[in-house]
Amino acid sequence: MGIQMIVTMSRRIAIDLYKEIAKLRSNWHSDDDDKGRIKIVMTGSSSDPESWQPFIGNKEVTLYIA
């Protein structure tokens, strides 16, 4: 299948899209970086909502996933 990328206008849109895809294809989601078929690669800050924290990775995680 290879790697596919979706680019969104905002991080909020990316998270909402991820959640909708995960609803349709629950087996694509996993909190484990080594499992699942869909991931979000995004940066974050301390002012981001708490609900965004599971999607924010440090530089090492971002490079690993990407």
Q: What is the mean pLDDT of each run of 10 residues along the chain (66 residues)?
A: 85 96 94 87 90 85 73
Q: What is the pLDDT of residue 56?
A: 86
Q: What is the pLDDT of residue 19?
A: 96
Measured CA to CA, the distance from residue 19 to residue 6 in angstroms comes to: 14
Measured CA to CA, the distance from residue 37 to residue 47 in angstroms comes to: 28
Q: Does the pTM exceed 0.85?
A: no
Q: What is the pLDDT of residue 1?
A: 62
Domain boundaries, the chain: 11-65
- Residue 7, Cβ neighbours under 10 Å: how many? 6
